[in-house]
């Protein structure tokens, strides 16, 4: 089913919706990449929280959606991933980025949602970690690293979904990450982003949810936080690179 692509416009409420993975004529990132971020979400974050020429980091860059949006909006995109899928995404672990302290203006991240999807065989892949504490510990280190490289007052945007797995239960990853991030960041806002995943419309999924008395994930969180000023619960001071 092909989805309509309305004109791209800034989202102005705390409920975001757009009926396509991509905006405009082309693609941002790759349609074929499992777990790619809807590009209008990245566009809205970059549009609102950065200015032309700013450095925008995506430490889980996947198919490069953030880099393509940055190109469209005249920002300098810095994309890293454990398993880069194109040459302008550089290889790095999100817990240890080759960037100097406080050299980034905005961070956008769409991390794995615990072990919901397999991304690569790399043992460092955070997508292999269960939400029983192991995922949270790894993400705490990612948040430390974001706080280290982000300038004071810079914004961190986290696009994430809670996880429900039959037999394993419900894990409120959105709440977990928001709470953990508050060690270095102050809340700006929380946006609910409507999901258009095809499985949400599939009869067998809907029937299983109704009969099994659980809910399919209908929205993602977009958690928005601003880096605390130095001395107000600061970040690690180390780091190398550009
Ligand atoms: C949800 S996907 C990101 C999708 C991306 N925003 C896009 O639009 O294509 C999560 C990504 O995190 C990467 N990843 C998992 N563990 C990582 C780690 N420790 N460091 C860096 N990247 C990691 C995976 O390889 C995967 O590409």
Instruction: Give the position, in ligand 1's atom list, of the atom nearest the Cα of 59.
Output: 21
Residue located nearest, by CA, to atom 11 of ligand 1: 60
Angle CA(134)–CA(138)–CA(139) in degrees, nearest 5? 115
Flag whether 228 is in a domain.
no
- Give one DSSP letter per residue of 103-147, joined into a string: -EEEEEE----TTSS---S-TT-GGG--TTTHHHHHHHHHHHHHH
DSSP state of 26: S
pLDDT tens profile 48-71: 999 999 999 999 999 999 999 999
- Give the position of tokens 């809910």: 215
Residue 3 has pLDDT above 60, yes or no: no
Distance from Cα 62 to the centre of ligand 1, integer Å: 5
Flag whether 234 is in a domain.
no
CATH of the domain at 157: 3.40.50.150
Q: Which residue has the higher pLDDT, 131 or 2?
A: 131
Residue 6 has pLDDT above 90, yes or no: no
Give residue 65's Cα distance to chain centre. Answer: 11
Instruction: Provide the whole-model pTM.
Output: 0.94
Q: What percent of the chain has pLDDT over 90?
A: 84
Quote the number of domains for the chain: 1
Pairing state of beta strands 76-81 and 55-58?
parallel
The CB of 37 under 6 Å from ligand 1? The reply is yes
Mean pLDDT score of the chain: 93
- Taking phi over 0 as left and psi of -120 to 50 as alpha, with beta for the rest, 231 belongs to left
Residue 136 has pLDDT above 80, yes or no: yes
pLDDT tens profile 10-33: 999 999 999 999 999 889 999 899
Distance from Cα 86 to the centre of ligand 1, integer Å: 13
Could you write out the three-class secondary structure of 183-223?
A: CCEEEEEEEEEECCCHHHHCHHHHHHHHHHCCCCCCEEEEE
- Give the position of tokens 């192991």: 134
Flag whether 77 is in a domain.
yes
Predicted confidence band of residue 4 (pLDDT cuts 50, 70, 90):
low
| φ/ψ (deg, to 5) at 75 | -105, 160
Q: What percent of the chain has pLDDT over 70?
A: 93
Instruction: Provide the pLDDT for residue 238.
Output: 45
Domain with 164, as residue range(s), is 37-223
Instruction: Provide the pLDDT for residue 234.
Output: 47
pLDDT tens profile 70-127: 999 999 999 999 999 999 999 999 999 999 999 999 999 999 999 999 999 999 999 9
Flag whether 242 is in a domain.
no
Among 110, 115, 27, 26, smallest CA distance to 61 is for 110
Flag whether 13 is in a domain.
no
Instruction: Give the position, in ligand 1's atom list, of the atom nearest the Cα of 117.
Output: 1
Flag whether 99 is in a domain.
yes
């Amino acid at each position: 089913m092909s989805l309509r692509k309305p004109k791209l416009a800034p989202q102005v409420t705390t409920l975001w919706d757009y009926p396509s993975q991509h905006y405009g004529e082309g693609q941002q990132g790759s349609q074929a990449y499992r777990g790619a971020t809807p590009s209008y979400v990245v566009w809205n974050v970059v549009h609102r929280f950065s200015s032309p020429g700013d450095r925008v980091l995506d430490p889980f860059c996947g198919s490069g959606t953030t880099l393509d949006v940055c190109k469209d909006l005249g920002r300098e995109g810095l994309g890293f991933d454990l398993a880069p899928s194109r040459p302008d995404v550089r290889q790095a672990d999100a817990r240890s980025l080759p960037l100097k302290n406080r050299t980034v203006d905005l961070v956008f991240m769409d991390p794995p949602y615990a072990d919901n999807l397999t991304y690569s065989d790399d043992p460092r892949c955070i997508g292999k970690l269960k939400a029983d504490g192991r995922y949270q510990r790894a993400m705490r280190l990612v948040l430390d690293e974001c706080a280290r490289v982000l300038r004071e007052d810079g914004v961190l945007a986290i696009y994430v979904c809670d996880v429900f797995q039959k037999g394993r239960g419900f894990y409120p990853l959105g709440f977990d990450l928001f709470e953990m991030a508050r060690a270095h960041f102050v809340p700006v806002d929380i946006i609910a982003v409507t999901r258009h995943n095809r499985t949400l419309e599939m009869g067998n999924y809907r029937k299983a949810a109704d009969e099994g008395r659980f809910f399919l994930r209908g929205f993602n969180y977009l958690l928005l936080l601003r880096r605390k000023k130095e001395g107000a619960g600061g970040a690690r001071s180390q780091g190398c690179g550009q």
